[in-house]
Amino acid sequence: QKEVEQDPGPLSVPEGAIVSLNCTYSNSAFQYFMWYRQYSRKGPELLMYTYSSGNKEDGRFTAQVDKSSKYISLFIRDSQPSDSATYLCAMKNSGGSNYKLTFGKGTLLTVNP
């Protein structure tokens, strides 16, 4: 079993739709959870950062972490064509190697105008 599982999609939605992206993980030591956005031929850009369980909202983006289920989600409200990108979940533990990110494979999202 991979440490982090993420459905690669692709996911195609109309403009204005609510998008739900998620990852599951197996390592209970993960404490820090991130979502990155990666446009084609670019580097990952940090969108959301959450420590432990709970919700975090930033504009149209909401990140949720459920540690009991080992499940994290990213919701995008009122999706825009400019949101079309690959979304990567990433996580790290709180132990000695807390600098090391473990990524999902990414979900390719297309928002159609």
Site residues (vs another protein, CB under 8 A): 4, 6, 8, 31-32, 34, 36, 41-46, 49, 51, 88, 90, 92, 94, 97-106
To the nearest whole angstrom, how small is the minimum distance from the Cβ of residue 57 to another protein?
18
> Given the complex with another protein, which of 41 and 113 has the nearer CB atom?
41
> Given the complex with another protein, which of 18 and 39 has the nearer CB atom?
39
Nearest CA to 64 out of 46, 84, 48 is that of: 48
> Given the complex with another protein, which of 52 and 112 has the nearer CB atom?
52
Contact assessment for residue 34 and residue 26, using Cβ atoms and an 8 Å cutoff: no
To the nearest whole angstrom, how small is the minimum distance from the Cβ of residue 43 to another protein?
4
To the nearest whole angstrom, how small is the minimum distance from the Cβ of residue 100 to another protein?
5
Q: How far is CA 11 from CA 17, 28, 70, 74, 87, in A?
A: 12, 28, 22, 14, 11
Query: What's the start-to-end Cα distance of the chain, in Å?
Result: 38
To the nearest whole angstrom, how small is the minimum distance from the Cβ of residue 101 to another protein?
7
Contact assessment for residue 55 and residue 66, using Cβ atoms and an 8 Å cutoff: no
Give the three-state DSSP class for 39.
Answer: coil
> Given the complex with another protein, which of 18 and 46 has the nearer CB atom?
46
